[in-house]
Structure formats: structure tokens, C-alpha cells
A and B are shown apart, each in its own frame.
Chain A
Amino acid sequence: GTQVEQSPPDLILQEGANSTLRCNFSDSVNNLQWFHQNPWGQLINLFYIPSGTKQNGRLSATTVATERYSLLYISSSQTTDSGVYFCAPRGSNYQLIWGAGTKLIIKP
């Protein structure tokens, strides 16, 4: 089946820093979502992005489907950005395939 690899696995930054999270996937996919799981466990949908670039405030995402990767950019980090970021491409049966996540800690 399709493999999803996220990097880095852990990231510690000072408030105000910028970061780039990467998601590689092994096969062609139909679509891709980025999620943020906050410290209370709530999974928040950030982007639904099959290809191209989308922006939402300080966050933006780029998916290059032909090269099988997606990037999540976080600018001017805030402590509330802390948590785990998951990339989840959608496979041929339209089910989400989950990576192991990137754990982000933003220090004040």
C-alpha cells in the first residue's frame, strides 16, 4: 500500500520562527489533507489540497502530486501552533492514509 513519510518527526522552535513540514508519499494519490492535532487531541482540518498552493493566514500548503510530496509552511509561529501535524493523502479507494506526524513545540 501507499506509504506516507513525514519529516522532521520532531521540531522545537521559538515563538516567531518560520517552519516547513514535509510529506512524501510513495504512490499517486487522489487528494491530500493536512491536519493539526492540538494538545487536547482535537484534529483540525488545515488544508484540502490535491495540487498547487493554498494559503490561510500564517499557514500555507503546496502539493506537487507529480513528484509525490506536499509541504506545510508555518510563518511567525505562535505557542498555539504547538501540537502534531498530520499529512493524509487519499488513496485509490478514497480512504485517508496517515503519516506518523510531525510534533511541533513552540516555546515562548
Chain B
Amino acid sequence: SQTIHQWPATLVQPVGSPLSLECTVEGTSNPNLYWYRQAAGRGLQLLFYSVGIGQISSEVPQNLSASRPQDRQFILSSKKLLLSDSGFYLCAWSKEARSAQYFGPGTRLTVL
């Protein structure tokens, strides 16, 4: 069966510091991968999605970037964090674009 991992689970970072969140998927190959952000008490906002290695689509212009160095690895990064980057970051995968999406446990990021 497929599993999806995210780390770290929680992170507290100062404004202006860099960020790297990692997501890996096991048990499947060539998945579609997604990064979402959820503000407190709200729905999810799609940040990036990837259909293959090195192929990244950005949905919202922002302070963040994403990379997919390996087939089942998706990384969310920032060079300098802003206060507004605080939130709950969720990684998801699907077999194809039209298939069901499955989510990882998430990372709670607090920027102080």
C-alpha cells in the first residue's frame, strides 16, 4: 500500500530564515504531487503541483518555491520566511490528475 510522509511535524522559525519541508511517497511510482497551505480555520490553498521530476507548476505567486529532485520526493522551500508564511502545510499525492488525492500528516509552521 502507499504511504506519504512529511517532516518535520512542527517548526518554529524566525522571520527571514530559510525553510525546507520534505514530502516523500512510498509504494507507487510517478505520482502527481501537491503542496497545499491551510490557514487556521479555513480551507486548503493549492501552492504547487508536479506531474514528474523537475516539472513544477505554481498556482499562487509567493515567497515559496518547490522542487522535485526524485520521483517520489517533493520539497517546499523559502529563502526568507515572512510572518504570513505561517500555517499548516500539507503534501498530497495522486496516481493521475483525475485520481483521488491522499494527504500526508502535515507540517505546522510558525514564523515569529
Contacts and interface: CB of A to CB of B under 8 A. Distances in A.
B44 A98 contact: yes
A15 B59 CA distance: 41
Contacts, number: 43
B87 to A, nearest CB: 11
Interface string A85-97: 0101010001110
Q: Chain B interface: which size bin?
A: 20 to 34
B100 interface: yes
A98 B100 contact: no
B112 interface: no
Interface residues of A, number: 21
Contacts of B43: 86, 98-101
Given A86-B43, A95-B49, A41 B88 contact: yes
Interface string A40-67: 1111110010000000000000000000
Nearest to B43: A98
Contacts of B105: 40-42
Nearest to A90: B98
A43 B92 CA distance: 10
B90 to A, nearest CB: 6
A82 interface: no
A7 interface: no
Interface string A17-36: 00000000000001101010
Contacts of A43: 90, 92, 103, 106
B70 interface: no
B46 A95 contact: yes
Interface of B: 42-46, 49, 59, 88, 90, 92, 97-103, 105-106, 108
Interface of A: 30-31, 33, 35, 40-45, 48, 86, 88, 90, 94-96, 98-101
Given A33-B101, A94-B98, A99-B43, 13 more contacts: A40-B105, A41-B88, A41-B106, A43-B92, A43-B103, A43-B106, A45-B100, A45-B101, A45-B103, A90-B98, A94-B97, A95-B46, A100-B43
